[in-house]
Structure 1
Amino acid sequence: MPHAVLPDMFLTSRLRAQRMAQTHLPFITRMHANVDLMQTMGGTRDAAASRLYVAQNVSHWSEFGYGMYVIGDRQTGLLAGRAGLKYTPFGDLGAIELAYALHPDCWGQGYAQEIACALIDLGFQRLPVDVLAAVAVDSNAASRRVIEKTGLRYVGSSDDGVTLKVRYEIRRDDWRLRQGQTADQR
């Protein structure tokens, strides 16, 4: 098992991110059964699909040293969703993709942007990559706004025959420029 490149746990101003583990299966299963949430990601998943999802993400951590987290509100301790960086096959090459999903009770609170920014920072600080990517369902305007606010730029779309998806990227040099702007604005 490779050494973890990203931390098993980290904090943002309002969130606690913990490396996804088998113990998170009940929460992930409830998320995957939520119709409102899953309509933004291609449809609900049953318990078997949720078990497979958690197992694949636990394995991803072992293989790559980074992966998905379960995130919760630091004040209340309530779980809010999942987010992370994951290796995704894309064309002839793979990509490291920013991914997140929040329970509908947590929508509109800025959690998605907060965790996405933290993950982008961790990715460029700790992973030897020049580009991070994100994919959203074209009709998911809220997720697209989050992706764009975090500095990723639209690079294209794809249609799997069921759902039109849009792809975004941020390059390390663009992230560095944004970091400088952030520091100057303080």
Structure 2
Amino acid sequence: MAKTMGAVMGDNMEEEIILETERLALRRLRRADYADLCLMLKDEEVMYAYEHAFEDWEAADWLDRQLMRYEKYGFGLWAVILKETGELIGQCGLTMQEAGEREVLEVGYLFRKDFWHCGYALEAAAACRDYAFEKLGAEEVYSIIRDTN
């Protein structure tokens, strides 16, 4: 189960941690994370379910959408930080998504390919699922998987 933590030091400044697991810390993305996000969003292999690697403008738009989600909902996709190194290795969180005729709360994630097959996605997604039920009081949480994934 994930636990909530106040703050940790990183990049010579305090960063608010939303969730912490054994190996990971999740915090809000910020504009300074753009280059790290591009390591995922511009990678053909990572973005196969989206059918293409993102261009610069698409990556910037992606980050803008996450920042907007924080303002609108109080959550979105969060930066996943490997506690051992302080490195941003992925993003995982909660988003509102269209599913048929309604909008649902979804757990989603995307990780750098050099961190695949280590259990990080499962660890982060489980923490986000628990957060949705325990902190947000959600009655249901979805995981929408594209047929290309």
TM-score bucket (shorter structure) = 0.7 to 0.9
Aligned position for 1:79: 88
Q: Structure 2 CA distance, aligned partners of 1:136 and 1:43?
A: 16
Q: How does 1:105-120 map to 2 (within 5 A)?
A: 105-120=114-129
Q: Which amino acid aligns with 1:125?
A: E
For the pair 1:57 / 2:39, whether they are aligned, the reply is no
How far is 1:139 from its partner? 4.8
Aligned position for 1:93: 102
Structure with the greater relative contact order (CA < 8 A, sep ≥ 6): 1 or 2?
A: 2
Deviations 1:21-59, CA, capped at 9 Å, x for gaps: 222111112211111111133221111001111111101
Number of residue pairs the alignment of both structures matches? 134
Q: Structure 1 CA distance, aligned partners of 2:87 and 2:137?
A: 33
Q: Structure 2 CA distance, aligned partners of 1:55 and 1:46?
A: 14
What secondary structure is seen at the aligned counterpart in 1 of 2:84? coil
The two structures have a TM-score, normalised by structure 1, of: 0.68
Q: CA RMSD in A?
A: 1.5
**Structure index of larger Rg:** 1
The two structures have a TM-score, normalised by structure 2, of: 0.83
For the pair 1:126 / 2:135, whether they are aligned, the reply is yes
Q: How does 1:3-42 map to 2 (within 5 A)?
A: 8-9=16-17, 10-42=19-51
Q: Specify which structure has the higher proportion of helix.
A: 1
- For structure 2, the 5+ residue unaligned runs are 1-5, 7-15
CA contact (8 A) 2:90 2:112 kept: yes
Q: Which amino acid aligns with 1:98?
A: V
Q: Percent of counterpart pairs with the same letter?
A: 22
Aligned position for 1:104: 113
- For structure 1, the 5+ residue unaligned runs are 1-6, 141-186
